[in-house]
Amino acid sequence: MEEKFAISIYVCNKPGVLVRLTQTFARRGYNIDSLVVSAAHNTDFSRITVVVQGEPSTYDQILRQLNKLVDVVHAASHESTDVVDREMALFKVNVDTKKRAEIFQIVEVFRAKTVDITDQSLVIETTGDSSKIDALEKLLGPMGLSEMVRSGKLIMKRGIAET
């Protein structure tokens, strides 16, 4: 049975690093569900959060192979209780003025925001853990949801420890 894993990786901020990482996953048959890359506070480095799906039996080995890459400072997996995880999403709903009210209700309950509005559509923004975004997607689905863009999961270790 394949499982999902969230890994945070701290790497040198250089061209080609991402290719080496993704090659490592692809070679072992891991599919990448989401991937977030940005420069770290120290811009010589980047922080990457990646969610992958694959065989649990090879997971430890993949972490070791990631750590073996010259440009990887560290790669680590985390227990969900140790970390804050967040994801952001934008939803485009094709809806006319008559049905808007129902959607606004949902938006309010989810503490989401409407960030664009026309007479035929709405764009809704939300932030939260991935399950909240999944739930909102499910509710908006039958109400004219036409597009969804997700940022991918971000992870930060709780407390003073480094991610």
Interface pick for other proteins out of 4, 18, 20, 137 (rule CB under 8 A): 20
140: tokens are: 């908006």
**Choices 17-25, 88-96, 125-133, 134-142; region in contact with other proteins by CB under 8 A:** 17-25
Does 27 contact other proteins by CB under 8 A? yes
Q: Strand, coil or helix: what is 152?
A: coil
Residue-wise over 111-124: b if at least 16 C-beta within 10 A, else e? ebeeeeeeeeebbb
What residues numbered 68-107 form the site for other proteins, per CB under 8 A?
68-74
User: CB 60 → other proteins: shortest distance, Å?
Assistant: 6
Does 67 contact other proteins by CB under 8 A? yes
**Choices 32-40, 62-70, 108-116, 117-125; region in contact with other proteins by CB under 8 A:** 62-70
Question: Measured in Å, how far apart are the chain's first and last C-alpha atoms?
Answer: 28
Which position has the token pair 């400072």?
A: 73
